[in-house]
Structure formats: C-alpha cells, structure tokens
C-alpha cells in the first residue's frame, strides 16, 4: 500500500486498472503463497488511486483548470488557524477548510475539496470549527500540507471584504472544546512566563503542539543545528505521558489489564488538541496496541504495532506519504526497530567491562544507571543521525554534524521539560502564584534548551549547507538499508553498496569545488550573484529584495553553499539589499563592502559586521578572487542610487567577470570617459529600473564573450532591455538571460567558457 500511495496517484486510470486486473489471475491461479498478496495488492491499487489521486474530488473536476483562477465558494472550517510571519511581509493566518459548494454558471453546485484558507491577521474568522462561510477570491492548485491527516489540494485567498458568515455555530462540540481548553492552557503558560516570550513559545510548542508563536530566528536555529525534531509531537511526548499515567495507575492499585482503559483516553485527548499530527497518531496507535495486548492475553510486539500504525494511517490518508513529518517519523522509528538491537549489542560489546575484574557495588551502579543509559542515548542519536542525513540533505540542503552531539543533551532537556510541564498544566486552574511556581522547572529546562542550541550554533563548521543529492542516490541508500534488514545474511553486500555510495557522494562534492564557478540568481527587479573558488568561501554580490530573499537563500542552499566569505552591496536599492534580512538568517559573512559614497545610507546602518567602504581605484582579494573597483569616484555623482552603483571586475587567471550592479547609461559613459581598461570575458549587465542599456561603444570596450542579463521585471522585459540584447547579438556576442525564479551557473575555467543550463 505504501508503494501504491507513492506512485499510483500520478498514473492514468487505465494504467491502474490494467495493473490491478493483471494481478487478479495470480490471486486465482498463481502460487498459493502469493495468492493473498496479489489480491490484497490489487485492492490496494484501486483504493489508493481513488483516495489519493490529485484531481479526484469534485472541486478539481468542476474547475477543469490546473492553473490559478477566480472562484466563489462556500466552505466549512475544519481546524484552528496557524499564524505565519515572514520578513518583509504581514502576518498570514492559514486555516483548513472543506468546500461544500462552488458558484458556477449562475448557480451553486455541490463540490468537495480540502483547501488551505489564507487570510491577513485582520481577517481572522470569528466562528470556530464547524462554522460555514462564503467568499470570492483566487483558488490556487497544489498540495499544501497543514497538520495531521489534513492535506489541502488548493489554497484560497479571499478578496478583501468578501468573507460572509453563513453559520457561526460550532460544528463539533468535542473538537471546539479541545481547542478552547488548549487556548486556556496557552494563556496560562504566557502568564507564567511574563518576562520571556521565547520561553513561553517553547513551552507551548512542546507541551501543546502550538508552534506558530515560535519566532523565525528560533526555528531556524533549531533547523541549522539539526534539533528541530524535538518540536514534533511524537513518541517522546506520548511515551512519557503514558509512563506517568501508568505510574499513577500503579499507585492506585490498578492491574495491567486496566491500564488500557485509563491511559488511552488521556492519550487520545492529548493527540487531538495537539493537531492530529502523523507522528502523534503513529505513537498513539503503537501505544494502544501495546496496552491492548494485556487485556486480550497477548504478548506485546513492537514491530506489529509499528506495522499496524503505518497501515492504518496510509489507509485513512494515502497522501500522507508525501508529508515530510510522516517520512521522518516512520523512517526513524522503523530504523530503530530494525537495527537498534544489533547496534546496541555491538556498542555494549565495545565498552564492556573486563570480565576478570572483581564485581563491586559501585561498578554495578555505574554500569546500570550511568553507562547503560548513556550507551542507549548514543546509539539512538547516532543511528537516527545516519539514517536521516540523506533525507535531510535532499530536503533541506543541510548537513548538521553538530546535531550528533547536540541531541545527547537536547533530548534529556526536552524530557525534563515534558516531565515537569505535564504536571504543571494541571495547576493552570489554580491561583496564578501556584501555577507560576509549578512551571519553574519547565521554564528552567526550556531556558537551558535554548541556551544549548545557541551555543551549538556558534561552533564553527557545526552546520553546513550541501547540494541536494540526486533522487536515485536516496533510493539506492535506503534500498541498501532495506536489503540489509530483509536479508541479514547478505549484509556485507549492502554495506559495500553503502560504502561505494558514500565514496561517490564525497568525491563528487570534492570535484565540484575544484574549479571556479559563477552563479546568477534571478531576484525579481533585483539580482544576486555569487562567486566560488576552490578552498574559499563564497563572495555574494547583492541579495535581492525583501520578498525574493527566501528564493535567494534557497538557491544558495541548493548549490551546497555553506558559508559566505564576503558580501558586497553594489548600491542602496531595497530591491538589491533587503533580501539580506532572510539570507542573513542562514549565513554570517566575514566582511561586508559598500560604495564609500553610500556608507552612511540607512540601509547599511544595521549590518553585522559593519560595512567597509569601496571606491574607484581600490583593489582587494576576497574569496580567492582579485576585485578591482572601477566605479564610483569618491565624489557623489547623480541623485539616483543606480548612478552611484559599484562596477566591479573579478579576475582569476584567465577568468574575468565585469559586474555592473545597477549601472545604466550614465555609469557606462563615466567608465568609458575614465580611460580605464574595461575588458572582461563575461559581462553581467546592469539592472537599473528601466533595464540594462549596454550601448555598442561600451560593449566594444569590454569585449566580452558572453553578456548575461537577469530575468524579467514586474512589467516584463522592457524595450530598452531588448534593444541592449539586440546590440549584443549584432556584435556577435553570446547573450544569456537568467530564467525567472532560477539560477544560471557559469564555469569560467582557464581554457574555455562552459555554460551550465539554468534550472
């Protein structure tokens, strides 16, 4: 079923029917041991196709459009909204809703579809879960994951003022009651931590599953150190909660047969008010299976409980296989069940005490209560790190070796926070002084956790951005692990495959750094350019705008750029500078340079480290490149920021690149009048608001082999830009334009100019 959920939704109906019918003869006349499997697989194929195929619901079929379009809908709220805040943008509230009707051809038609409703902070829905609304707006297709079993096929952005309440009654008294209790608990946690909003947000995320109040910097810090998993409501939360409840049951004299009827309802309540996330559901089903074994006179079996949890979730919502939380949850727990015992025994054998030593009480105490838990923590941390590293690199372009050490303290701190925080939640209905005192241990644990993560982030080389491995690398890696587990007698073959794959990945990464590389990122009206040299960090020129900064950061990470040696801003234009608000969250440059004529500009006042001045005639060496400053002069010329743009020439051996920044006609004329040599093999044309001009006289003075233009602006390619491209073509020069929302890579080696394909 898992394989069917991954592949079948993207196949045509005829192909699925053909595969399913082709399996039926095996169910009738095939080998006896394969008949049941063939019949079950045939049923799985049809079930998954009908429940997970994109476009299978009525909303898709009635719209008949794969692109964004206007729509008028009536929908029912299915959950509480999460607040998202990004630099340079207003807060956005995302709420899961289910469409009931769609207005089409002058009348309302029944429709079904799961939609992620996106509103501004001022447009929050007043009704709770179950309330019905009507609105007109823009319907955008795609898969937008929300929480738990909810996965939206569309996002809907209502037109301002179009929201109209049809019914504000609560559709589910039970669910609305859970959400009200959670809001009450969240309010009490805030009141217990009045002076530290970051600690209050951490407590809400870990105890209640409310992660929307975590500030972006805190989330990014946990991501960079590889510790973001502590915020997942998973087996750690439910396992600890069930242990505490079992301890209470024992204290009350209850038998193990009665634990199930007391523990399970509390776990279900906790899973509901934390959002029905896949990790929590997996843990709930596994714990329920283990607890139910005793009343049914059966022996608890972890592997069977794990398999049942996987089967139930995929059956209920096959689209969960595309959710990253689902993938991490079952991948790591399955790996621990498959390899945990083997690795624990190997680790214990390595550190076993000398059998000839005389036993002592102190040595036995240390072995049982110190070394054994420590070995278990090391085994779990190391195994999870190795198993999840390829998926993390593929998804986040991130490799955090510091997380291997960080988990050894972060997980115990999280355990202490939960162990003290769960009982403290029961005191929120008591006087405020009692509640504040009860939350003190949890607050101290949260503060220690935040301090530990901040310390880890400051360790050099602890976090590295890496280029995403190819999908086939992931498939081979996890395929070898599966073969190792399924056929242990052939584990040497699987280990050899893993070793060969590791050597390939390391070698290809090393070879990628053996030649210089230039990358140009399209950033709307701005631009971002990076230079790489073997053995050096990156030199980044400009960082895009506030709303394109995330795109710039993502493109840098996709290229495996793990550090920025120097940052250069060509001119004080917010379309070239403000993107650093986002890019700077992942990268801390060693030096920052700006034109001396604009050193005091407000856009450059809060940079860290402080900006250094550059002027015409200056030369420096950054990131392995020799950089010459050809413009501007020390005196201030022109009122426009474009007229004061830095013009830089990067050289290394035969490689030479002329970067025009935001320069236009006026700057080109000044550079020609200065009499300085302008020759370069690659010309990165300027990006002023009216488009790069690159007159024929300037092109002849530079004599490039290739002229590179950035992507389209808001209004498209201007006539001035097109005229510049035609002039370059008329002179027999190569002309490249960076694809919109893409990156162009150029490899200017010493012998020839290799042009990589944009993507």
| Beta carbons of 613 and 595 less than 8 angstroms apart | yes
Alpha carbons within 13 angstroms on the beta-carbon side of residue 624 total 19
pLDDT of residue 649: 92
pLDDT of residue 319: 63
pLDDT at 758 over 50: no
Q: CA torsion 119→123→128→130, rounded to 10°?
A: -60
pLDDT of residue 55: 46
Structure-model confidence comparison of residues 368 and 406, the more confident one: 406
pTM score above 0.75: no
Q: Is 711 exposed, middle or buried (0-12, 13-18, 19+ CB in 10 A)?
A: buried
At 151, give phi and psi (nearest 5°): -135, 115
Q: Where are the beta strands (DSSP E) in 547-654?
A: 564-568, 591-595, 612-614, 619-622, 625-631, 647-652
Q: How far is CA 514 from CA 284, 297, 533, 555, in A?
A: 50, 64, 8, 20
pLDDT of residue 150: 46
What is the average per-residue pLDDT within 150-177?
A: 72
What is the Cα 353 distance to its own chain's centre? 44
Most confident of 1-10, 16-25, 62-71, 603-612: 603-612
The bridge status of strand 734-737 relative to strand 464-465 is unpaired
pLDDT of residue 759: 32
What is the average per-residue pLDDT within 289-305?
A: 81
pLDDT at 126 over 50: yes
Return the domain boundaries, the chain.
2-52, 58-171, 183-352+360-465, 471-507, 517-755
Q: How far is CA 692 from CA 210, 252, 521, 706, 755, in A?
A: 48, 79, 16, 15, 21
Q: Which stretch of 32-36, 249-253, 466-470 has the lowest confidence by average pLDDT?
A: 32-36
Q: How many residues does the chain have?
A: 759
pLDDT at 165 over 80: yes
pLDDT in tens, 629-685: 988 876 666 667 888 888 999 988 777 889 888 887 788 888 888 888 888 888 888
pLDDT in tens, 693-738: 677 888 888 888 888 877 554 455 667 777 777 888 788 888 887 7
For 342, the token pair is 């083997």
pLDDT at 476 over 80: yes
What is the average per-residue pLDDT within 49-75?
A: 62
- Which among 706, 656, 659, 655 is positioned nearest to 684, based on CA atoms? 659
pLDDT at 88 over 50: no
| Beta carbons of 527 and 576 less than 8 angstroms apart | yes
Residue corresponding to tokens 């004599």: 703
134 strand-pairing partners: 74, 164
For 463, the token pair is 């976090």
What is the average per-residue pLDDT within 467-485?
A: 85
Long-range contacts of the stretch 347-356 (C-beta < 8 A, 24+): 347/375, 347/378, 347/379, 348/375, 351/375
Residue corresponding to tokens 């250069």: 568
Q: What's the CA gap between 747 and 65, in Å, rounded?
A: 41
Residue 540 banded pLDDT, cuts 50, 70, 90: very high
The bridge status of strand 164-167 relative to strand 619-622 is unpaired
- Which among 406, 411, 418 is positioned nearest to 453, based on CA atoms? 406
Q: What's the CA gap between 484 and 351, in Å, rounded?
A: 25
Structure-model confidence comparison of residues 318 and 606, the more confident one: 606
Q: Which stretch of 65-79, 134-148, 586-600, 617-631 has the lowest confidence by average pLDDT?
A: 134-148
pLDDT in tens, 568-577: 998 888 888 8
Average pLDDT of the chain is: 77
Structure-model confidence comparison of residues 468 and 388, the more confident one: 388
pLDDT at 439 over 80: yes
Secondary element (H or E) of residue 69: strand 69-77
Residue corresponding to tokens 């809908």: 73
* CATH number assigned to the domain covering 517-755: 3.60.15.10
* CATH number assigned to the domain covering 58-171: 2.40.50.140
pLDDT of residue 47: 67
| Beta carbons of 309 and 262 less than 8 angstroms apart | no
The bridge status of strand 619-622 relative to strand 625-631 is antiparallel
pLDDT of residue 568: 92
What is the average per-residue pLDDT within 35-47?
A: 68
pLDDT in tens, 168-226: 665 556 666 666 777 778 888 888 787 778 888 888 888 887 776 777 778 778 877 87
pLDDT at 152 over 80: no
Helices (H), 351-371: 361-366
Structure-model confidence comparison of residues 698 and 130, the more confident one: 698
Residue 87 banded pLDDT, cuts 50, 70, 90: very low
pLDDT at 145 over 50: no
What is the Cα 491 distance to its own chain's centre? 33
Residue 567 banded pLDDT, cuts 50, 70, 90: very high
pLDDT of residue 322: 67
Structure-model confidence comparison of residues 179 and 552, the more confident one: 552
At 77, give phi and psi (nearest 5°): -70, 130
| Beta carbons of 269 and 178 less than 8 angstroms apart | yes
pLDDT of residue 25: 67
């Amino acid at each position: 079923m898992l394989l069917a959920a991954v592949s079948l939704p993207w196949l045509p109906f005829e192909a699925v029917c053909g595969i399913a019918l082709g399996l039926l003869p095996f169910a009738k006349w095939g080998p006896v041991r394969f008949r049941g499997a063939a019949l079950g697989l045939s049923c799985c194929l049809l079930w998954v196709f009908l429940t997970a195929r994109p476009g299978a619901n009525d909303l898709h079929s009635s719209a008949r459009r794969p692109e964004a379009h206007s729509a008028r809908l009536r929908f029912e709220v299915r959950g509480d909204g999460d607040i998202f805040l990004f630099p340079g943008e207003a807060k956005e509230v995302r709420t899961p809703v289910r469409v009931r009707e769609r207005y089409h051809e002058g009348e309302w038609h029944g429709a079904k579809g799961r939609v992620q409703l996106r509103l501004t902070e001022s447009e929050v829905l007043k009704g709770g879960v179950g309330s019905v609304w009507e609105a007109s707006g823009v319907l955008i297709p795609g898969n937008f994951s929300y929480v738990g079993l909810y996965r939206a096929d569309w996002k809907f952005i209502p037109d301002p003022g179009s929201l109209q309440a049809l019914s504000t009654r609560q559709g589910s008294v039970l669910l609305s009651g859970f959400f009200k209790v959670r809001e009450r608990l969240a309010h009490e946690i805030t009141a217990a931590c009045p002076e530290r909003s970051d600690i209050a947000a951490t407590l809400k995320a870990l105890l209640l599953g409310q992660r929307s109040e975590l500030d972006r910097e805190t989330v990014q810090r946990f991501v960079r150190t590889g510790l973001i998993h502590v915020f997942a409501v998973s087996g750690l939360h439910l396992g600890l909660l069930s242990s505490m409840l079992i301890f209470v049951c024992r204290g009350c004299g209850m038998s193990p047969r009665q634990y199930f009827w007391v523990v399970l309802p509390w776990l279900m309540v906790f899973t509901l008010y934390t959002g029905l996330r896949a990790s929590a559901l997996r843990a709930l089903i596994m714990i329920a299976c283990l607890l139910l074994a005793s009343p049914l006179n059966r022996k608890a079996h972890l592997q069977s409980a794990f398999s049942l949890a996987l089967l139930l979730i995929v059956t209920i919502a096959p689209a969960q296989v595309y959710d990253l939380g689902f993938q991490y949850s079952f991948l790591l727990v399955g790996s621990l069940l498959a390899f945990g015992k083997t690795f624990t025994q190997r680790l214990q054998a390595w550190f076993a005490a000398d059998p000839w030593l005389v036993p002592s009480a102190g040595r036995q105490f240390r072995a049982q209560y110190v070394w054994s838990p420590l070995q278990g923590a090391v085994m779990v941390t190391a195994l999870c790190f190795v198993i999840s590293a390829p998926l993390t690199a593929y998804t986040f372009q991130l490799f955090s070796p510091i997380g291997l050490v960080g988990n050894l303290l972060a997980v115990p701190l999280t355990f202490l926070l939960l162990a003290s925080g769960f009982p403290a939640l029961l005191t929120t209905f008591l006087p405020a002084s009692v509640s504040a005192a009860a939350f003190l241990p949890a607050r101290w644990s949260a503060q220690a956790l935040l301090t530990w993560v901040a310390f880890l982030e400051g360790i050099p080389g602890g976090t590295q951005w890496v280029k995403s491995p190819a999908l086939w690398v992931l498939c081979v890696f996890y395929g070898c692990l599966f073969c190792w587990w399924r056929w242990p007698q052939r584990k040497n073959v699987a280990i050899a495959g893993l070793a060969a794959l590791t050597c390939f990945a390391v070698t290809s990464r090393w070879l990628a750094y053996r030649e210089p590389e230039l990358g140009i990122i399209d950033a709307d009206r701005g631009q971002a350019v990076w230079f790489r040299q073997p053995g050096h960090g990156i030199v980044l020129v400009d960082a895009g705008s506030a709303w394109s900064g995330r795109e710039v950061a993502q493109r840098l990470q996709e290229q495996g750029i793990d550090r920025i040696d120097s940052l250069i801003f060509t001119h004080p234009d917010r379309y070239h500078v403000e993107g650093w608000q986002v890019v700077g969250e992942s990268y801390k440059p060693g030096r920052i340079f700006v034109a001396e004529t604009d050193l005091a500009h407000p856009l450059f006042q809060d940079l860290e480290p402080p900006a250094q001045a550059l002027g015409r005639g200056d030369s420096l060496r950054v990131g392995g490149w020799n950089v010459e400053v050809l413009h501007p002069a020390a005196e201030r010329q022109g009122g426009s920021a474009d007229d004061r743009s830095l013009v830089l020439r990067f050289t290394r051996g035969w490689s030479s690149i002329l970067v025009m920044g935001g320069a236009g006609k006026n700057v080109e004329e000044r550079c020609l009048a200065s009499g300085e040599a302008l020759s370069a093999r690659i010309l990165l044309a300027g990006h002023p608001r009216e488009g790069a001009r690159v007159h024929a006289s300037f092109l002849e003075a530079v004599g490039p082999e290739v002229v590179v233009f950035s992507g389209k602006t808001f209004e498209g390619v201007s006539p001035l830009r097109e005229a510049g491209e035609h002039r370059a073509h008329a002179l027999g020069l190569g002309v490249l334009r960076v694809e919109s929302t893409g990156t162009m890579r150029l490899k200017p080696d010493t012998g020839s100019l290799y042009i990589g394909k944009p993507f």
